[in-house]
Amino acid sequence: MSSHGDPIPMTSSASGPLRGEAHVPGDKSISHRSLILGAMTVGETKVTGLLEGQDVLDTAKAMRAFGAEIEKTGDTWHIHGVGVGGFAEPDNVIDCGNSGTGVRLIMGAMATSPITATFTGDASLNGRPMARVTDPLALFGTKSYGRKGGRLPMTLVGAADPLPVRYEVPVPSAQVKSAVLLAGLNAPGDTVVIEKEATRDHSERMLAGFGATIRTEETDEGRVITLQGRPEFKPQTIIVPRDPSSAAFPVCAAIITEGSDVLVPNIGLNPTRAGLFFTLQDMGADLTFENMREEGGEPVADLRARFSPDLKGIEVPAERAASMIDEYPVLSVVAAFAEGKTHMPGVKELRVKESDRIDAMAIGLRAAGVRVDEGEDWWTVHGLGHGNVPGGATAASQLDHRIAMSFMVMGFATQKPMSVDDGGPIATSFPIFESLMGGLGAKIERKGAEA
């Protein structure tokens, strides 16, 4: 089922060569944070390059419900925020659609204001664990009342007299880290978050940009992040960089599709996000970083990906997992076209994304003729080599945009077309996916598999 409307079956088939430039949309993580931090700032924050995917639009709607004024003129989003601790109580239930990032960050942002809000989402989001966020928020004094197992729909009663907290994040999750930091904004004194594995650091960078006093120290315990509560935020002008997680799709498509040569300009290579690109290079992919530069304090490059017929399976370092957590589905597709096994350990978190991503990919890959072994926190794809992957299957996208896009990419290079039962979820993060890939020469049609 599609999250917003009827299912949209899609089929992709032998394509290529893929050629041209792929201008992918704005970064989803930074887009959510721009809206939320803008809503917590008095004055006008201006944002260009915002991802206009459904996940981010749902966060914009939520920020309006908490009292911010948000409008778009031309290419610019204007946010007039209410200040740290200034959120109004929403009149209605907050529907975050498909977005774990949206709901978890917003819960953090409202948790230390004396207001009550009820959150819900689609079937995927309502099945995902929220205790990982509400447990640390309880330390501030926030109360939560959800369904069994800490699931949405859930009501949060913000702490009227919040206490700052010191919290060690038990799972590698930027969403949990960010929720605690956002809650810490309206608590007096220092809130400290410790993470053993480095996860994406957009919240830390952006909080500093808005004027918070925040520092990160690398210690024997891990990364210790200290945020001073009750800052006076200054409105910002934000240019959202393009999303490396969306860039992954045209990059991987070019690598597996004969004769391809695709340039994906302006991609952020923040080391907490860029793990996939180094993994592809380790597999022997012809992927280069051109025009390396710094923009807004972040490393940026134009990625050039070319067809790579001699990919080899590798052991993906477990310590790289957090920096490429959203990219494993499409990596598993590339692995199917490599010679030999690609083993991916340390990836338990994949089981609690928009879908159980190991399960969703393994089922579709097996149906397409590829052997996959799996355990609770690892999986192995047995590659067949270029030209040898049968395809000819319909995969269930399970309300998960990245599952749908991964199988569409796979179909460009399989012997028989690949289908998904519902490409609707693609619009949550990459609404121009079909037209962008089509412009490069890829064949994607809105229809199911041939009978």
Angle (CA) 444 449 450, round 5°: 115
Indicate the residue among 326 and 421 with the shorter CB distance to ligand S3P: 326
Indicate the residue among 15 and 173 with the shorter CB distance to ligand S3P: 173
Residue pair 162/113 in contact by the 8 Å Cβ criterion:
no
- Binds ligand S3P by CB under 6 A, chosen from 144, 178, 394, 406: 178
Residue 86, Cβ neighbours under 10 Å: how many?
A: 16
| Active-site position among 55, 95, 326, 400 | 326
Query: Any idea which residue has 């990059």 for tokens?
Result: 251
**For ligand S3P, which stretch binds (CB under 6 A), given 7-15, 172-180, 272-280, 430-438?**
172-180
Residues in the chain: 451
Indicate the residue among 311 and 403 with the shorter CB distance to ligand S3P: 403
CB 210 to ligand S3P: min, Å: 17
CB 414 to ligand S3P: min, Å: 27
Q: For residue 265, say if its preceding peptide bond is cis, omega within 30 degrees of 0.
A: no
Indicate the residue among 260 and 398 with the shorter CB distance to ligand S3P: 398
**For ligand S3P, which stretch binds (CB under 6 A), given 174-182, 310-318, 383-391, 410-418?**
174-182
| Interface positions, 89-108, toward ligand S3P (CB under 6 A) | 101
Q: Which strand (E) or helix (H) includes residue 214?
A: strand 214-219
Task: By CB under 6 A, tell whether 349 contacts ligand S3P.
Answer: yes
**For ligand S3P, which stretch binds (CB under 6 A), given 139-147, 169-177, 419-427, 432-440?**
169-177
Indicate the residue among 130 and 418 with the shorter CB distance to ligand S3P: 130
Task: By CB under 6 A, tell whether 360 contacts ligand S3P.
Answer: no
**For ligand S3P, which stretch binds (CB under 6 A), given 8-16, 156-164, 171-179, 388-396?**
171-179
- Residue 227, SS3 per DSSP: strand
Structure tokens at 89: 């109580």
CB 437 to ligand S3P: min, Å: 21
The 127-166 contact track toward ligand S3P, x by CB under 6 A, reads ----------------------------------------
Residue pair 97/54 in contact by the 8 Å Cβ criterion:
yes
Known binding residues for 3-phosphoshikimate = 28-29, 33, 173, 175, 326, 353
- Binds ligand S3P by CB under 6 A, chosen from 11, 134, 173, 323: 173
Distance CA 57, CA 221 (A): 37
Cβ-based neighbours of 394, under 8 Å, separated by 6 or more:
9, 367, 418, 419, 420, 421, 448, 449
Q: What is the DSSP string of 386-446?
A: TT---B--EE--TT-HHHHHHHHHHTTTSSB-EEES--GGGGGT-TTHHHHHHHHT-EEES
Residue 246 is which amino acid?
S
| Interface positions, 250-279, toward ligand S3P (CB under 6 A) | none
Task: By CB under 6 A, tell whether 398 contacts ligand S3P.
Answer: no
Task: By CB under 6 A, tell whether 59 contacts ligand S3P.
Answer: no
Indicate the residue among 286 and 354 with the shorter CB distance to ligand S3P: 354
Task: By CB under 6 A, tell whether 372 contacts ligand S3P.
Answer: no
- Binds ligand S3P by CB under 6 A, chosen from 12, 98, 175, 398: 175
Query: Any idea which residue has 């989402």 for tokens?
Result: 121
Distance CA 259, CA 109 (A): 48
- Residue 449, SS3 per DSSP: coil
Structure tokens at 262: 């695709």
Output helix, strand, coil percentages for the chain, rounded to the nearest 5.
Answer: 35, 30, 40
Indicate the residue among 28 and 304 with the shorter CB distance to ligand S3P: 28
Indicate the residue among 135 and 349 with the shorter CB distance to ligand S3P: 349
Residue 72, Cβ neighbours under 10 Å: how many?
A: 12
E-strand ranges in 14-107 read: 19-21, 43-48, 69-73, 76-81, 94-95
Q: Would you call 326 a catalytic residue per the annotation?
A: yes
Distance CA 407, CA 423 (A): 10
Residue pair 244/266 in contact by the 8 Å Cβ criterion:
no
Known binding residues for phosphoenolpyruvate = 28, 100, 128, 175, 357, 402
Task: By CB under 6 A, tell whether 326 contacts ligand S3P.
Answer: yes
Binding-site residue total for ligand S3P (CB under 6 A)? Answer: 10
CB 217 to ligand S3P: min, Å: 21
- Binds ligand S3P by CB under 6 A, chosen from 56, 325, 361, 399: 325
Give contact residues for ligand S3P (rule: CB under 6 A). Answer: 29, 101, 173-175, 178, 200, 325-326, 349
Catalytically active residues are: 326
